Amino acid sequence: MKHKTVEVKNVLRTQAMFENLQSRSMITPGIGLIHGPSGFGKTTTVTYMFNELTLSGHQPLYVRCYATDTASSILARIMNEMGADPMFPLRKMVDYIIRNMNEKGLALFVDEADHIVGQAKTMETIRDLYDSTEQPVVLIGMEEIARRISHRKQLFNRISEWVEFKAADIEDVNLFAIELLDERVKVAEDLLEYIRSKSAGEVRRILIALEKIERAALASDEDYVDLHSWGDRPLFLSHRR
């Protein structure tokens, strides 16, 4: 399997969302939300965009949240991203980050935001960063985040862009196969459709299945695999017959 990010629909929608945030008018708020189930490609997409932005000279800030995070540890991680040491009291870090975001026009991506959405102080700190810089801030999380954030009115009112990650459709699965599989291996439409339905459109599981087929095909010199020739060989980790 090749290692690259495939520009499936969720990726294109996320790119469009970020462009909207960057080019928004002064009256439109600038917080974006990306949400969807585990394994659908949210982190991969944001990392891909991070790299693209970096190449075009607009490197954003990216922080991933952890279960044990507090406002203090998140701020320290953002400082670290900026190449600076933590400062105390917290207000000093907030000031430093705001100054840097303003001077350099830095957008902020906060991945795994589910871990902090229940913490009023941390969420208000992120809102403070947005309010004082008006740089795009993008929160990324799972299904629950959309519902839980809707209860935080002050933050919720500043969200102007949403992307809900959808299950991969057959076009997406086709694109993964074309772009990621070894050129010697062709997977038939019926097997791709089987993968799509059994994986429930979860990218992580789709790629596991494609990799299995690729390995088996290369090992046995098959250049075309369809549902019939695949037979009852297992495709997914959880697959039981």
Ligand X SMILES: Nc1ncnc2c1ncn2[C@@H]1O[C@H](COP(=O)(O)OP(=O)(O)OP(=O)(O)O)[C@@H](O)[C@H]1O
Phi, psi for 230 (deg, rounded to 5): -70, -35
Mutual orientation of helices 170-180 and 9-22 as an angle, nearest 10°? 100
CA 11 to chain centre: 9
Told to check if 43 binds Mg ion by CB under 5 A, we report yes
165 neighbors 36 (Cβ within 8 angstroms): yes
Among positions 123, 129, 192, 203, the unique one binding ligand X when judged by CB under 6 A = 203
Cα within 13 Å of Cα(202), Cβ side: 11
- The site for ligand X, by CB under 6 A, has a size of 15
Site for ligand X in 44-103 (CB under 6 A): 44
Task: Indicate the residue whose CB is closest to ligand X.
Answer: 41
> From the CB of 69, what's the least distance to ligand X, in Å?
15
Mutual orientation of helices 203-219 and 189-199 as an angle, nearest 10°? 140
Residue 202: closest CA among 47, 45, 38: 38
Report the residue number, 21 or 173, with the smaller CB distance to ligand X. 173
Contact letters for ligand X, residues 13-32 (x by CB under 6 A): --------------------
Report the residue number, 142 or 216, with the smaller CB distance to Mg ion. 142
From the list 40-48, 55-63, 91-99, 121-129, the region that binds ligand X by CB under 6 A is: 40-48
**Structural element, H or E, at residue 97:** helix 90-104
Site for ligand X in 205-224 (CB under 6 A): 207
From the list 38-46, 114-122, 154-162, 231-239, the region that binds Mg ion by CB under 5 A is: 38-46
The interface partner of residue 204, options being Mg ion, ligand X, none and the CB cut-off 5 to 8 Å by kind, is ligand X
CA distance 14 to 165: 9
CA distance 139 to 114: 9
Q: By the criterion CB under 6 A, which residues form the site for ligand X?
A: 5-6, 8, 11, 38-44, 142, 203-204, 207
Interacting residue ranges for Mg ion, rule: CB under 5 A: 42-43
